[in-house]
């Protein structure tokens, strides 16, 4: 598994993660002692409605109730998290404090779980103001005492009206005094002010229910909450709202603010893409298809960062880097295209202080603690990058081919390498009528040139039996012995490839018109050695015809000759820039962030907060939408970090869209299916996990498959508990609506694809849910948390190649310069000083861990504590994750596993 992500002991298995109101009805008077308690009342309702309730006690009267004499006393405590900075001294904060003093803070309404069995209508609700109590561990408690009628029954839900002018974060509510003991309601949610929205906020009890099992007293609440969360699709969303809706990616560009700020809309027939959360901002004046920019990017309130994360790891930190650090660097680096003059200058980034202009003392930049340190000494501000682990262990590892090959299996992007299934002749491609690739055999360094090369999966082979391989008359142009060696390597499954040829080639000429970046279509061939490691054999770079120039194509391979060796190093820099771009735009952004957002939106729109599947999924979705929103504003936006520092430039998001269209399939997001589709595994019932790996020492697959099995077993136990009969799946209208919306709306551009799984049985649900959880946990951890360790030293993984290959149509002067100073040619190919320092800073933030990080399997969700079966299953789940840490540690220490162990291996 990736080091230092899934295979590290302490972090190997760790990963990130309604409104209701009623109209009061008149009741007879209660005994005088109750009426004198203005913090309490019992109110009867005919039915629930979505209209705002008049909640002040002055607008209600009371009637005699025959069962009051048999009632008991109760108490509720609401725990509210105080702000990180303490009390806010604003005017509204002062008014809220006054409200606290007068006991007008939170107005609570307790709803019975069941309807009255005699009348069939809702039972009287218990209402009252909660007064401010003590402060405990940074939280503030609000208390209310009340009387519980004898026939009230169990609690079904509690409604909160926030009388403050500021929203507040409610952690939990504990209600005591009922027959069955304390009732705990976990909230962990923001409650809006009644001055922003008069509707009350609803919280259900911790017990989970399928729709058909919902207690009768809260059925209407369950339905109405979902209606509220869906919204009406109109208007601009406000910061306090919790509305989930869909939109296309029409907010990447900024046509009103920048001459080169217009970008196409992503999502639709022309550029397919998953959907994002709708913000409802007005359209751009210059481009009616695009959404205008603003200082605020809406995400539903509960999707936003916590205050702790906001201070330590949030998008605000990214903004601080972009708005404080980058301008500071720009003032230092007067030439944005200036490269590094020599390698010691690159090394100096990690141990020499760089003076920055004076930053504000309260700048969020000062909170980045792990790899970037702002040291303020009176008026002095400096920037210092911590040395990445990769560089600390072996300063020259990036230079070696063995490490280049190893990282295709155990580095940042283990998702791209594929097996070469077969040599075949295919029809000439638009940009590549003739192909050339080098193959190095075990008998010595030799080469095979052939008219065309490609790989296909076994399924594609079965589906295209009529498509021939090499025809006899075409073999005349090849050495028969070498062809046979190539076939033997393929048949023995020893040839592998990084293939970015077809994906990149249509963009090569467009990208090459941009300033400061060069793109090729690339293929890189690897050979599996007897000791289980990969050896790079050849790199093919292609430029299609342009203007009056014919197609340019060349193959580079490792060699002992000085000129060839330097050309090989520069070709590797190009391939690594391609792999870095694919990693960030596809393996990371598209697959774990962008494609996950529709799952989150659909879950909140179609699954009630009391649905067991919602409660299983939501910890894995934590912060994703906020990160995505920040990404649209600061990372993948027009002229943002990605476009400025990665090879595809302004076409980066288009490339991501093309990859989604051509490559993304939900069924292959599951780890086993992904490995099989790339030829890295085949089904084998006698092998561990039911798969036989093509490369036995494949850390990502070895460790990832154990984690996959652990996740799947946990999901299996969970699903089988809540769905003991198969028919419960198809009869669950919320679940069916959820899956339908994911396919037909969230991923609507692919709604007609035949590979979407059906949702008819518990096994179907287990597969779907496990896949979603894997993408948000194991997959994301593998491609995210090691970014600084591996790419913090950018020569190991340059994000952009700024110069063409020295052999591409060189002038005599260019060629002489290369021969005289080949190191300068490599340095000119690397990112500029400004690009390098910017991407290093951003990668640090992206790969950092938040202080309030939640780790999979560490803490059981409070919703499951009262379910013995789920408790037991979670204990098993948590124990297996701990065992996995030990397994990974043992593997990392095994000297026989060359792809994760050795001198200086990170």
pLDDT digits (tens, 9 = 90+) for 747-798: 999 999 999 999 999 999 999 999 999 999 999 999 999 999 999 999 999 9
Task: Please tell me which residue, 17 or 434, carries the higher pLDDT value.
Answer: 434
| CA dist., res. 879 & res. 389, Å (int) | 29
pLDDT(461) > 60: no
Which pLDDT value is given to residue 345? 87
pLDDT digits (tens, 9 = 90+) for 682-695: 999 999 999 999 99
**Long-range contacts at 32-38 (CB < 8 A, ≥ 24 apart):** 34/62, 34/68, 34/147, 35/62, 37/145, 38/129
Which pLDDT value is given to residue 273? 98
Q: Is there a contact between 638 and 260 (Cβ–Cβ < 8 Å)?
A: yes
pLDDT(562) > 70: yes
| CA dist., res. 372 & res. 839, Å (int) | 12
Q: How confident is the model over 832-850, as a mean pLDDT? A: 83
Task: Please tell me which residue, 370 or 435, carries the higher pLDDT value.
Answer: 435
pLDDT(34) > 50: no
Binned at pLDDT 50, 70 and 90, residue 156 comes out as very high
Instruction: Please give the DSSP secondary-structure letter assigned to residue 204.
Output: E
pLDDT digits (tens, 9 = 90+) for 569-601: 999 999 999 999 999 999 999 999 999 999 999
Q: What percent of the chain has pLDDT over 70?
A: 75
Highest mean pLDDT range out of 257-271, 431-445, 792-806? Answer: 792-806
Which pLDDT value is given to residue 175? 94
Which pLDDT value is given to residue 426? 34
Contacts of 513 (CB under 8 A, 6+ apart): none
Binned at pLDDT 50, 70 and 90, residue 660 comes out as very high
Compute the C-alpha angle 407/656/676, nearest 5°. Answer: 50
Phi, psi of 436 (to 5 degrees): -135, 130
Which pLDDT value is given to residue 471? 32
Q: Is there a contact between 686 and 791 (Cβ–Cβ < 8 Å)?
A: no
Paired tokens of 60: 């209600």
**pTM (two decimals):** 0.85
pLDDT(606) > 60: yes
pLDDT(735) > 90: yes
Which pLDDT value is given to residue 620? 94
Which pLDDT value is given to residue 332? 57
DSSP tally for the chain: helices H, then strands E: 29, 21
Average pLDDT, the chain: 81
Which pLDDT value is given to residue 8? 38
pLDDT digits (tens, 9 = 90+) for 873-896: 999 999 999 999 999 999 999 999
Which pLDDT value is given to residue 102? 52
Binned at pLDDT 50, 70 and 90, residue 135 comes out as confident
| CA dist., res. 775 & res. 781, Å (int) | 9
pLDDT digits (tens, 9 = 90+) for 174-228: 999 888 889 999 999 999 999 999 999 999 999 999 999 999 999 999 999 999 9
Which pLDDT value is given to residue 442? 34
Instruction: Please give the DSSP secondary-structure letter assigned to residue 192.
Output: -
Q: Is there a contact between 532 and 695 (Cβ–Cβ < 8 Å)?
A: yes
Which pLDDT value is given to residue 672? 98
pLDDT digits (tens, 9 = 90+) for 463-522: 443 333 323 333 332 334 444 556 677 778 899 999 999 999 999 999 999 999 999 999
Which pLDDT value is given to residue 386? 79
* Euclidean distance between the first and the last CA atom of the chain, given in angstroms as a whole number: 12
**Strand (E) or helix (H) holding 486:** helix 480-491
The two beta strands, 681-683 and 691-693, are antiparallel
């Amino acid at each position: 598994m990736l080091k230092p992500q899934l295979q590290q002991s302490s972090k190997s298995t760790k990963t990130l993660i309604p409104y209701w109101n009623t109209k009061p009805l008149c009741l007879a008077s209660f005994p005088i002692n109750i009426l004198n308690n203005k913090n309490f009342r019992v109110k009867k309702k005919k039915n629930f409605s979505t209209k705002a309730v008049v909640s002040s006690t002055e607008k209600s009267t009371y009637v005699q109730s025959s069962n009051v004499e048999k009632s008991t006393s109760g108490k509720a405590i609401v725990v509210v998290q105080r702000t990180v900075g303490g009390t806010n001294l604003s005017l509204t904060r002062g008014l809220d404090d006054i409200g606290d003093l007068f006991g007008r803070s939170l107005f609570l309404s307790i709803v019975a779980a069941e309807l009255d069995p005699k009348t069939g209508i809702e039972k009287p609700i218990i209402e009252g103001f909660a007064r401010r109590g003590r402060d405990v561990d940074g939280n503030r408690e609000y208390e209310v005492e009340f009387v519980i009628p004898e026939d009230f029954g169990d609690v079904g839900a509690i409604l909160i009206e926030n009388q403050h002018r500021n929203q507040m974060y409610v952690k939990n509510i504990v209600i005591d005094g009922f027959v069955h003991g304390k009732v705990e309601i976990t909230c962990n949610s923001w409650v809006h002010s009644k001055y922003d929205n008069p509707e009350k906020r609803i919280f259900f009890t911790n017990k989970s229910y399928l729709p058909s099992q919902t207690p009768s007293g809260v059925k209407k609440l369950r339905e109405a909450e979902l209606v509220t969360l869906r919204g009406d699709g109109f208007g601009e969303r406000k910061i306090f709202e919790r509305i989930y809706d869909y939109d296309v990616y029409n907010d990447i560009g900024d046509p009103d603010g920048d001459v080169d700020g217009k970008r196409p809309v992503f999502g639709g027939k022309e550029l397919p893409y998953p959907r994002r959360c709708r913000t409802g901002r007005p359209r751009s004046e210059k481009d009616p298809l695009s959404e205008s920019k603003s200082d605020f990017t809406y995400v539903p309130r509960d999707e936003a960062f916590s205050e702790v994360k906001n201070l330590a790891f949030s998008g605000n930190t990214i903004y601080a880097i972009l708005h404080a650090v980058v301008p500071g660097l720009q003032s230092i680096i007067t030439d944005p295209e200036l490269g590094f003059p020599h390698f010691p200058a690159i090394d100096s980034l990690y141990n020499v202080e760089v003076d920055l202009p004076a930053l504000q003392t309260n700048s969020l930049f000062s909170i980045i603690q792990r790899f970037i340190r702002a040291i303020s000494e009176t008026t002095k501000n400096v920037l210092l990058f911590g040395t990445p682990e990769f560089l600390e262990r072996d300063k020259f590892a990036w230079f070696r081919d063995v490490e280049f090959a190893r990282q295709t299996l155990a580095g940042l992007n283990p998702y791209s390498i594929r097996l070469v299934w077969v040599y075949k002749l295919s029809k000439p491609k638009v940009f590549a009528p003739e192909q050339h690739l080098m193959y190095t055999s075990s008998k010595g360094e030799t080469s095979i040139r052939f008219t065309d090369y490609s790989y296909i999966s076994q399924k594609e082979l079965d589906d295209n039996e009529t498509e021939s391989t090499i025809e006899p008359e075409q073999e005349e142009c090849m050495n028969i012995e070498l062809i046979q060696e190539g076939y033997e390597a393929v048949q023995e499954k020893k040839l592998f490839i990084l293939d970015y040829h077809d994906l990149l080639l249509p963009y090569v000429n467009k990208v090459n018109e941009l300033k400061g970046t060069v793109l090729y279509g690339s293929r890189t061939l690897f050979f599996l050695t007897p000791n289980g490691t990969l050896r790079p054999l050849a790199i093919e770079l292609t430029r299609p015809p342009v203007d009056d120039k014919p197609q340019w194509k060349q193959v580079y391979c490792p060699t002992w000759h000085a000129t060839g060796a330097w050309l090989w190093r520069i070709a590797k820099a190009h391939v690594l820039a391609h792999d870095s771009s694919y990693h960030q735009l596809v393996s990371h952004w598209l697959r774990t962030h962008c494609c996950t957002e529709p799952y989150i939106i659909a879950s909140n729109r179609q699954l009630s907060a009391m649905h067991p599947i919602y409660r299983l999924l939501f910890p894995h979705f934590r912060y994703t939408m906020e990160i995505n929103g920040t990404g649209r504003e600061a990372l993948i936006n027009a002229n943002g970090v990605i476009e400025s520092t990665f090879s595809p430039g302004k076409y980066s998001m288009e490339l991501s869209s093309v990859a989604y269209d051509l490559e993304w399939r939900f069924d292959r997001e599951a780890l086993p299916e992904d490995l099989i589709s790339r030829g890295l595994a085949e089904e084998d019932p006698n092998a561990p996990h039911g798969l036989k790996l093509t490369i036995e020492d494949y850390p990502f697959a070895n460790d990832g498959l154990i984690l996959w099995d652990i996740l799947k077993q946990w999901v299996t136990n969970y699903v089988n508990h809540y769905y003991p009969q198969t028919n419960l799946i198809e009869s669950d209208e919320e679940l069916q609506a959820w899956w339908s919306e994911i396919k037909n709306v969230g991923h609507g551009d692919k709604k007609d694809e035949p590979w979407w799984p059906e949702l008819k049985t518990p096994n179907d649900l287990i597969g779907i849910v496990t896949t979603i959880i894997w993408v948000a946990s194991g997959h994301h951890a593998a491609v995210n948390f090691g970014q600084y360790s591996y790419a913090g030293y950018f020569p190991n993984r340059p994000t952009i190649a700024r110069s063409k290959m020295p052999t591409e149509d060189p002038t005599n002067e260019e060629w002489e310069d290369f021969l005289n100073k080949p190191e300068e040619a490599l340095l000119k190919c690397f990112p500029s000083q400004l690009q390098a320092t910017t991407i290093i800073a951003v990668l640090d933030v992206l790969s950092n861990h938040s202080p309030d990080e939640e780790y999979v399997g560490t803490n059981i969700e409070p919703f499951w504590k009262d379910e013995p079966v789920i408790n037991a299953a979670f204990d098993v789940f948590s124990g297996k994750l701990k065992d996995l840490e030990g397994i990974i540690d043992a593997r990392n220490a095994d000297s026989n596993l060359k792809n994760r162990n050795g001198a200086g291996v990170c």
